[in-house]
A and B are shown apart, each in its own frame.
Chain A
């Protein structure tokens, strides 16, 4: 069986801002197509910075990042980013917000409308096209943000703690919906979170990072069935995995 080519590859990546201290150091990482990789670690360990490097929002200070053999800037059409905040344009309707990336890319209106409707249906907001962001709940806003990211059929989805500001119940629902959407689309995900339970539920790999400078301390394979539902949270293997990742995270925080 031929080896799968990694879709994202970090080689000895380092990052510092200006003359400041190293934020990331010696990051070596290979992500395969279809991976759902969660990044977890203490505050300031560079999780979000790592995402921004993949997105090409910031340049690396050392080493290299290749996305399907190209630089992040060259591969920008393959990437979509979901920020911590929903980052919706308040003067645009839900449909216009979702349409935005396609409009910026100059796609034809007919094509755009179909993709927007499809993305809104995926996040279960197909009745809210004409609503404005201020008329939505926090969870709905984040759904719009995810729909917007999906309209360009990205190969890689970067999610920077998207559900961090939501209540526990909404977060769990959105976790399940995210997996349902993923089952229909074949993107690779990098997901920053502070929640171990969320990381285990969503991912097939978890990177536990240490701080000062940020490094990958543990690369954990999540040994759970691919299909996950709310019942998965009640299973013993899930709970054991959560306990194990929590233990590793604590050990990283104590060093």
Chain B
């Protein structure tokens, strides 16, 4: 199933959860924020939030900056 992940068209497992996606990328325990279709998803809901075809997902984190 195709979603847009961090600006890129990406193939992902059919009807997976956000938690599954993060595990897939080795990001499960990293400090980050997930925004799904414009809404911030709380960490506690990662295992419940399901991805659908055409979803727009942003995974962001704090980095060095001025």
Q: Does B associate with A?
A: no
Footprint of B on A, CB under 8 Å?
A: none
